[in-house]
Amino acid sequence: MQNLMLHDILYTQLDPMTMTWCATAKVRASHCDIKKTTTCLAAPQIAYNQRQQQRAGVRLLLQALLKRLDIVDRLDESNFPYRLTHSQYYVCFSHTNCNNKNATRMLNDIEKSDIPYVKVAVVISRHRASGIDIEVNAVKWQVAKRFYHPKELAILQALPMIQRNSAIRWLWQIKESFIKIHQYTLAQGLGMDYSAIIYDLLNQPIETLPLLTLTDDKTNYQISVISSQQTVIVY
């Protein structure tokens, strides 16, 4: 197992009443570990190792968050949604490759001593199952047209390009978070109608606020956006 290191950790309390917290970070393996585990490996194995790094990274971040909150507990992964064994906090993870690098580009970066990293995020809550999604890549309009609800597409189609691209990505992350909460299939979750919150998102200075929180009246869930971390949480 690689020696993973967390960098740039951000802890955010979302709701003190329900003890809902999230944390985001970058996770890297040491240069020596990466060189050792990528030398002479085929691209599929490198990709597999990266997935393992992501899986270990989110759990390392969870431990950092629990330590920050003075919670001594362990993760129960026997059922979904995940929960902590004793305190029964709900737990949800997200991770993403920075800059969407493939295995070949990773090898090139390692040779140049540019150590690749992934971004990881976790949310815990005592209230109910919550969802989180961290995303660094844009979502293409062609993808939205394939999966999004017709009411959403009607609104998005009429927006200026910059606003449309921003709204498409935030909607994608909201949908991904609800998929994790309710265990929808991907197509089912992406096809849900969240058109009512599009203007709420667009009418807020998301990019300049450290934390934006909206209420989705249709589902009675809170939606928080941490723009600097490219993260959306639904709780």
Tell me which residue of 174, 182, 173 sits closest to 81, measured CA to CA.
Answer: 182
**What are the DSSP E strand ranges found in 67-218?**
75-76, 82-84, 90-97, 118-125, 131-134, 212-216
Note the pLDDT of residue 70.
Answer: 98
CA distance 45 to 28: 18
How buried is residue 40: exposed, middle or buried, by Cβ count under 10 Å (0-12/13-18/19+)? exposed
pTM summary value: 0.88
For range 62-91, the mean pLDDT: 97
Q: How confident is the model at residue 16 (pLDDT cuts 50, 70, 90)?
A: very high
Q: How confident is the model at residue 226 (pLDDT cuts 50, 70, 90)?
A: very high
Do 18 and 1 meet the contact criterion of CB atoms below 8 Å apart? no
> For helices 103-111 and 31-38, what crossing angle results, to 10°?
130
- Exposure on the CB side of residue 161, measured as CA atoms within 13 A: 1
pLDDT, tens digit (0-9, with 9 covering 90-100), for 31-50:
455 455 555 556 666 667 77
CA distance 27 to 94: 13
pLDDT, tens digit (0-9, with 9 covering 90-100), for 130-173:
999 999 999 999 999 999 999 999 999 999 999 999 999 999 99
- The one-letter code for the residue type at 74 is R
